[in-house]
Structure 1
Amino acid sequence: MKLLVAALESELQAFPAELPGFDRLVTGPGKLKAAYGLTRALDAADYDEVLVVGTAGAVDDGLDAGVYEVSAALQHDVQDLDGVVGRHVSLPSHVQTGRDGHTIATGDIFVDDADAVARIRSLGGVLVDMETFAYIWVSQQFDVPIRVLRAVSDRAQDGATQIWDEVVAACSAQLWQRVRGEYAL
């Protein structure tokens, strides 16, 4: 059995309510809700894989609209005791999915600002979201393989919060098409 995970129900709106071979989990937005929700699910049942789907902002101008595989995540909203941004005092600076793909920067803020985009780029992120680091880290603690697919919803610049509401349905449809094809559903 696999676990299909999203932060928001709206990110799954194009998906059928029941998928053969998958349980479904909506955690809520942000790192704490993501960690709590996924921990509870993985503690309660055995899964072969965690499949995360959802939206992300693009902070790399080379990324067009579409669905991207995530290979690694970092936290853009933390710093260590020496003041190094992107390094947590007790967590790894990066977590890996074990797949080829792109690096996503996770933080508990909705990025809608050119200065934040520049900072995230300097850390190596090309996508930005609010949950992926937590999902990967928790999956690693339970030794469950994880796959993360993110659909670009916006450019994480001024006005991104307004645009996201308008495009989440299209992103969900793109994600469902990719999942349906790759998992033969």
Structure 2
Amino acid sequence: MAAHNTLLVFAHSDEAAAFSDVPHLVTGVGKINAAVGLADVLAEGNIDRVVVLGTAGVVGDGDDRLDLNTIYQVTGLVQHDFELDSPTIEPDGDVILAAEHTTTMATGDQFVSDDVQRATISGLGAQLCDMEGYAYGAMCERFNVPLQVFKVPSDFADSSTTQEEWDQIVAHKSEQLRAFWNERFAA
């Protein structure tokens, strides 16, 4: 896809809005769409690295609350909607951001906008939540392809957060992600 057999991946087309001139994959929202969409491309065997860019909800509070205008590299992935123990996935792509800009993210098949659920997710050690990250991690592990995940928070995943609010914010977040891509990855 992009130079050096890097596959740039987004979950939602709105997150990719600022990347119309850059080859990329939009998998669709949720763990199943993410897993199937990414597996289809990885099965072809010509991808050396996957870079995921997107948005996520912030689940931490107080001093642990992440900033809405900072891009974070996800170095640990857990599931928050799966009752059985599942291993933490640690993406094995190079960590390129400073430690204060790395975090753990929880994945589940629902848009988090509930204070109780947010607190539960934070209790898993996560500071961010999304709907695809764990699936991307599982597929990259299965196909032995290095993965890097970068997320910019879009909301605080609390009872005041709505999907409509996310829709209004995501275009700006796509521009932030594009500036990050140009600085860190563009040839």
The TM-score normalised by the length of structure 1 is 0.88
Residue matched to 2:127: 126
Query: Partner residue of 1:168?
Result: 170
Q: How far, CA to CA, are the matches of 1:148 and 1:156 in structure 2? A: 19
Report SS of the residue matched to 1:150.
Answer: strand
Question: C-alpha distance in 1, partners of 2:66/2:157?
Answer: 12
Aligned residues: 171
Distance 1:40 1:159 in 2: 37
Please report how far the alpha carbon of residue 137 of structure 1 lies from its aligned counterpart in structure 2 after TM superposition: 0.8
Q: Tell whether 2:90 aligns with 1:96.
A: yes
Shift of 1:174: 0.8
| Counterpart residue type for residue 39 of structure 1 | A
The answer to whether residue 78 in structure 2 is matched with residue 77 in structure 1 is no
Determine the structure 2 residue equivalent to 1:41.
41
Q: Distance in 2 between matches of 1:104 and 1:44?
A: 28
Residue-by-residue CA offset, 1:38-60 (whole Å, 9 max, x unaligned): 00010124111101011100011
Query: Could you say which residue in structure 2 is the equivalent of 1:83?
Result: none
Matches within 5 A, 1:110-121: 110-121=111-122
- Matched residue of 1:152: which SS? strand
Identity rate of aligned residues, in percent? 40
Who is 1:153 aligned against? 154
Deviations 1:2-52 (A, max 9, x none): 10101111001112x233xxx411110000000000000101241111010
SS in 2 for 1:140: helix
- Measure the CA separation in 1 of the matches of 2:87 and 2:185: 31
Out of 15, 18, 24, the residue aligned to residue 11 of structure 1 is: 15
SS of 2:174's partner is helix
